[in-house]
Amino acid sequence: MSSLPALFGVLVFTFLLMRVLPGDPAVFFASGPNAGKEEIEVIRKQMGLDKPIPEQLLRYLYDVGRGNLGKSLMTGQSVTTDLRERLPASLELTLTALFIAMLSAIPLGVIAALRPGSIVDHGVRLLCALGVCVPTFVSGLLLIYVFYYLLGLAPDPTGRIDVFTSLPPSRTGFLTIDFLLAGDLDGWWVAVRQLILPALTMALFVIAPLARITRASMLVSLGSDFVRTARSVGLSWWRVVVTYALRNAILPVITIAGIVFSTMLGANVLVEKVYSWPGVASYALDALLSSDYAPVQGFVLLMASIFVVVNLMVDVLYGIADPRVSI
């Protein structure tokens, strides 16, 4: 509940920002470059753009309050429908990427922390540096070049499934899950193959912060008194490192993972573009380029809400992982 004012602020801010940005949607959406002044004026009136800005804002807030995010001029559909269609694609991609990233970052961080200053530690550091400094569109194209063009292992990077496969009945919106629910293993494999490369591209970029925070927090944990206690009574290596050190070290990693997830969801528009992934980020970018107000505002509101939800989930997870925290 305490996040409602923040959401409201985001709402108003984006609204004003969109109005300040140059570009007139009415001009853009008039039938052609040679549309007359009157025609533009009519469109403007239809869109309510002739009203003073405070009134526009009030109307907008009223609509949002009733769950109506407006209509996209690009697709001609309501923004809510558009977002609902595209959000699962983005979520599926981001969650997979985060999963891959965590799965590689945590062991890397742990290995680096076990032998600080060793070759392994430096190797992990180099890997992280590479992951961060290569932009996603470069690493994305590189992966496509190697795995699709050279090796032919990956399918062509054109969206979530190839043209020959028919879509499963939509239940969750997550194609991999929908295929499984429909019992279509061939379709599932197609979807997974499409998913792997973009997810990997995204993951490469966020392995670095996750691995670094794991390493730092593992170092603190391994140097702590309770790990010394665990060693002093002769617990096994696995017990000491995993049950005692890692479980304590994982707490800050959860926080960072939450932040990383929210960032990935919105900011990886480049990955979606490179792989023609029909996600929300590329949708918002297209809308922004064509001065289509409603989708951009809807997108920002969606991102803010997801950010709030993710943070709430992180808090809940924290409460489960750490008995000292009560929510």
Residues in the site for another protein, rule: CB under 8 A? 224-226, 228-236, 239, 243-244, 247-248, 321-324
- Got the DSSP string for 140-197? HHHHIIIIIIIS--SPPSSSSS-TTSPPPPPSSS-HHHHHHHHT-HHHHHHHHHHHHH
Residue 159 · residue 275 · CB < 8 Å: yes
Residue with smaller CB distance to another protein, 89 or 249? 249
Encoding tokens for residue 295? 């989708």
Cβ 318 to another protein shortest distance, Å = 11
Are 256 and 214 within 8 A, CB to CB?
A: no
The DSSP letter of residue 144 is I
**Residue showing tokens 């603190």:** 220
Nearer to another protein, 183 or 323 (CB): 323
Distances (CA, A) of 134 to 138, 140, 158, 209, 246: 6, 10, 22, 14, 29
Residues contacting residue 309 through CB under 8 Å, at least 6 positions apart: none
Choice between 153 and 320, CB closer to another protein: 320
Going by the DSSP 8-state scheme, the letter that residue 99 receives in this structure is H
Q: What is the CA radius of gyration of the chain?
A: 24
Would you say 54 or 323 has its CB closer to another protein?
Answer: 323
- 276: alpha, beta or left? (left if phi > 0; alpha if psi -120 to 50): left
Q: In this complex, which beta carbon is closest to another protein, that of residue 166 or of residue 326? A: 326
The residue (of 4 and 233) whose beta carbon lies closer to another protein is 233
